[in-house]
Amino acid sequence: MKDKIVLITGGSSGIGLATAEPLATMGAELILVARSEEKLKEAAQTIINKTGNRKIRYYIADFSSQRSIRTLAENIKKDYQKLDVLINNAGGVFSAFKLNEDGLEMTIATNHFAYFLLTNLLLDLLKRSDSARIINVASDSHYNGKLDFDSFTKDKGYFIITAYGQSKLANVLFTAELADRLKDTQITVNCLHPGFVRTDIGTKGTKWYASLFWTLASRLGAMTAEAGAKTSVYLASSDEVKGVSGKYFDKCKPKEPAPLATDKQLQKDLWRISEQLCPIS
């Protein structure tokens, strides 16, 4: 990974930070993106202290906002000539239905549309790499997911688990469709299940009882962020997956995704709807 440029969204804490540290140890140049400048500063200093790698820059962005993502992409393209690895890691869960400034439900906006928009806006930089990789952090929650396009903009009886499963199914569908669209390029696209990881994703933007449940469940059965980051690090750095694209990984091994995630028509339908609600041109 020496001199490879790696962008990690949600890179200031949790799985994102745990992904950044080993990549920095391998010599990668890091771009960390998150909402809090204070946490980004702390994360950058932590990585420097642990690895000695000072090739770290950070950018502030709100991944629920298309405007913020577009500004981020513009700034990245001003500052960099290429990008070798893009790790779409930032995500969120929300216990109640809420629309963002773009008129999209917050869970699908943060967990799918952010991946879709940022990736498409940075494709030109990725194409300048000799061998670029896009990695989408999904979840086994996608096995229980179903897509309801109307729920992207309307309250159809919102339920946190349903909304999260839908957004993670969208990650796997997006990965497959993007891999197909990039099959004649040097860019690979894969997604992964990090495992049930002890992070604060379930305590942000949720009601007190949902936050309490997540905290208790995390203490009882969750793995560390470092363990959850292993597959992301593997997909970003290993020669074993060079040229591998369009796959779903768990514990650094390919895994068959949900049958719905392999539906070619659904992959294309999601892309079409995503372009309508989140223009990339």
* Lowest mean per-residue pLDDT among 37-46, 80-89, 194-203, 247-256: 194-203
How far, in Å, CA of 62 to CA of 9, rounded? 10
Q: Residue 32 is part of a domain; what is its CATH number?
A: 3.40.50.720
CB neighbours of residue 268 within 10 Å: 13
Give the tens place of pLDDT for each residue, 171-204: 999 999 999 999 999 999 999 999 876 555 444 5
Give the tens place of pLDDT for each residue, 160-170: 999 999 999 99
Whether the predicted pLDDT of 264 surpasses 60 = yes
How far, in Å, CA of 236 to CA of 11, rounded? 14
Coil, helix or strand at residue 193: strand
Return the ∠ at Cα 251 (arms to 12 and 211), rounded to 5°: 50
Claim: this prediction has a pTM higher than 0.85:
yes
Q: Give the active site residues.
A: 164
Instruction: Specify the residue for token string 């203490």.
Output: 219
- Three-class DSSP labels, 46-59: HHHHHHCCCCEEEE
Bridge-based pairing state of the strands 56-60 and 85-88: unpaired
**21 φ, ψ to 5°?**
-60, -50
Domain count, the chain: 1
Q: How many residues does the chain have?
A: 281
CB neighbours of residue 275 within 10 Å: 13
- Please, are residues 93 and 160 in contact by the beta-carbon 8 Å criterion? yes
How far, in Å, CA of 44 to CA of 61, rounded? 16
Which range marks the domain in which residue 228 is found?
5-277
Place 220 in a pLDDT band, splitting at 50, 70 and 90. low
